[in-house]
Structure 1
């Protein structure tokens, strides 16, 4: 399976082969949607999310998201017009590379929004750029293995700040994951099409806004991002899929970000129980907006599989097995259904029920066939007498 997938997906790596010629004869863009499998139902809000104007609500006010207190004229927002840090970039991929090379978390968040704003305003070309091997990171938080992450009582942070810090770490990584997807596969824009890159730059902008909310709320609680260790698991998963666009879509939005859909409601309940309703509203809003990011991953995964002539469900499972990615419940079925991930792809118990139903259906069909044949034989015998 590994060799077969590598050959078939070679169009998304620097080496091109004859097996890809059918896809590369005057490259057909993947941007135009085509009919999907009947088991896939795209997120209903996908088109409105794509067409939505720039979201400047980067502050969490008393009633929820709102623009910064003294918003400057777009597109600079947080930067002065004569001090535009993106001025040296002339393409979307170069803008993404700038974000990936920025180590300060708040600066990375602001620069991500500025980059997407400029892309939307100027409609730059996608271009071609090379991402850094790893995104630039601040000196804190210290990155440790997941087993070394301190428990809440040992972290030195109250429970609400502890959970918020973990979420901030996820959102900061998500900024880099989205921009890495844009930059890493930029050399194949003729095949993937502009829509692919626009979607993931949009995801990066959303994630930067989420990090801004988390950072603000941490400051209100008297803490800041970096006050406790964090793990590097998310980026390790990203590195696994660095040469395979189908694997990137399966592993990151369809597994890692989907876990956010599962965890979001539980975090909200814990924060309400802790008595921090303001933080619970922040977390709840972020979880709600993550549906779009999972939906984008599912949409493009389905389209890539269609172009490669592969069965999406089988391909998804094979890729997770190949890259040793584990699916863990409990699952938020309603949010996953909304995002468009078929349950049979990730829930073995649901798949077992489906298989049992199919087997019963086959039995019923055979019985109906036997009964029909018996009736025919009976009528023939009657006629002969």
Structure 2
């Protein structure tokens, strides 16, 4: 009889699942009490990540126009949020299985993120369905996962550029999107983004926590190292306006915020 999968192996199995409903079910099934197994895991033969045939992935400049002043444009905007949340599930699962020999709390922290991202995706997809559309009905781009692939062998870069940059950008833009949705009386959309913003503060906070842990372990300066990562991986430095309140809640220091706000 084969031994049960460890938490990290279970995360990998969920990652390679293509069907969104099956992926969500697999994520929710993983227990925080599962044996961890922190050693290196052999990469699978299946494609990473598993994802449905649709949406069609196109360059960012070719995604469907997302103006809230038409029903289709509004649906395209909600679809874009759903796509971000689906990618976020995969990002959390990937960091769990890929990086070995870290403290137990590292893996459990990111499992919590994966479960919350799965919940977010379900909320947004249900809202999209209420508008008469399905996830996959619009084009999408692959920018989030491309950064994930670029940082596959560098945990510090992964932490710097995914939760602390791309996901932190969500803290900045969520209020803007909420204002757009409020302007067309999409109160359900605003409420969903309230939930996402609340949880994403915690996700970015975990990114900060483990990034600082890595800096302490390697004796590196957090701000100088971050600036180097942004340059090395050709990731755009976040542009204002920054959601300073949310970023402070997520653990960004005044010194970091000053650097981010500088030219």
- State the TM-score, normalizing by the size of structure 1: 0.63
1:255 alignment counterpart = 165
1:205 Cα shift? 0.7
1:163 alignment counterpart = 77
How many aligned positions are there? 257
1:275 Cα shift? 1.3
The alignment partner of 1:341 has SS state of coil
What RMSD, in angstroms, separates the aligned Cα atoms of the two structures? 2.1
**Distance change in 2, residues 1:308/1:241 (3 Å):** same
1:89 Cα shift? 4.7
2:57 alignment counterpart = 143
- CA distance in 2 between counterparts of 1:148 and 1:347 reads 34
1:183 alignment counterpart = 97
**Structure with greater Cα Rg:** 1
**Distance change in 2, residues 1:205/1:94 (3 Å):** same
The alignment partner of 2:152 has SS state of coil
Correspondence for 1:129 among 26, 35, 41 = 41
1:345 alignment counterpart = 256
The superposition leaves residues 323-367 of structure 1 with CA deviations (integer Å, 9 ceiling, x where unpaired) of: 111123221111111101124435547558xxxxxxxxxxxxxxx
2:25 alignment counterpart = 110
Contact kept, 8 Å, 2:151 with 2:157, in 1: the verdict is yes
Contact kept, 8 Å, 1:344 with 1:351, in 2: the verdict is no
The alignment partner of 1:216 has SS state of helix
Structure 1 stretch displaced more, 323-332 or 134-143: 323-332
- CA distance in 2 between counterparts of 1:278 and 1:225 reads 18
**Mapping of 1:204-219 within 5 angstroms?**
204-219=114-129
2:236 alignment counterpart = 326
Unmatched 5+ residue regions in structure 1? 1-86, 353-385
**Mapping of 1:189-228 within 5 angstroms?**
189=101, 192-228=102-138
- CA distance in 2 between counterparts of 1:337 and 1:103 reads 36
Contact kept, 8 Å, 1:261 with 1:332, in 2: the verdict is yes
1:163 Cα shift? 1.7
- CA distance in 2 between counterparts of 1:201 and 1:135 reads 16
**Mapping of 1:17-36 within 5 angstroms?**
none
1:157 Cα shift? 5.1
**Distance change in 2, residues 1:241/1:221 (3 Å):** same
The alignment partner of 1:329 has SS state of coil
2:218 alignment counterpart = 308
Correspondence for 1:336 among 232, 247, 255 = 247
